[in-house]
Amino acid sequence: MHRLFLNKFIMVLSTLAAVLGLAFLFWILATLTFRGLESINWQLFTHALVEKGLLNVIIGQLVMAGFATLIGVPIGMMAGIYVREYGFGSKFSDTIRNLSDVMMSAPSVVIGVFIYGLFVAPMGGFNGWAGAIALSIMMVPIVVSTTDSMLSLVPQELREAGIALGASKAQVIKDIVIKAAMIGLITGVLLAFARVVGETAPLLFTSSNNDFFTMKMNEEFPSLTVSIYQLATFPDETSQSLAWAGSAILTLMVLAINLTTRYIFRKRKN
């Protein structure tokens, strides 16, 4: 009787906690949707920030996240392949896995300060490359963990069958294991991209921001997240409206990526 009562009590507490969390989530989304959508207009997508638009900062954010993907994904995937396929069970692979877990929980502002000391201060100023490198560092542990997990789901019999046919270990990994886990790997890349595309703290110390449209990565580079942070602190209503609009656009962007990821993963599961 006591255990049944305790079970129901814990269930009620868990349900209330879930409802409370969802309530805050819907409150935030409702406020963001209401304040953001009323501030969105066509000019935001055709003019730069200096002309009261957001075109340059949206493109700048995507460009830096894109370069971060090109840098971080290959490194993360190769590390994940080593951990699962080559060094599985060794102390070195366990060390890489543990360091990856630690890096995923590292504050993004710490990464920003680290890159500032390496690529901003020595180069004499903020630049887009430093921002992309900071974001890529945040992507690597996510890709490592996802690659490790997805490759672990590939049956060992497939590897043994490939080796039995005379294929080398590299050929088995490339032509069998990676192909079998491809959907999961793509899902991991999308999750990592969604994680970094909304980051602000590391960009404050690396790329800063630029009110004008530019594609020169060796100078201050436009950033949507940094623009939102700066505009929200301005006292005038126009700047705050731009901040709300940028927040809504960023939220919709991340939401679209996450929904795409869930669709791909569900398709793979089916």
Q: How confident is the model at residue 270 (pLDDT cuts 50, 70, 90)?
A: low
Residue 117, token pair as written in the block: 């000391």
Average pLDDT over residues 14-18: 91
Average pLDDT over residues 7-12: 86
Backbone angles phi, psi at 28, to 5 degrees: -65, -45
The structural architecture, per CATH, of the domain 43-269 is Orthogonal Bundle (1.10)
Give 176's Cβ-side CA count (13 Å radius): 20
Encode pLDDT of 139-196 as tens digits: 999 999 999 988 988 888 888 888 888 888 888 888 889 988 888 888 888 889 988 9
Domain positions in the chain are 1-38, 43-269
In angstroms, the CA 147 to CA 185 distance is 6
Rounded to 5°, the CA angle 85-88-92 comes to 120
Average pLDDT, the chain: 88
pLDDT of amino acid 1:
61
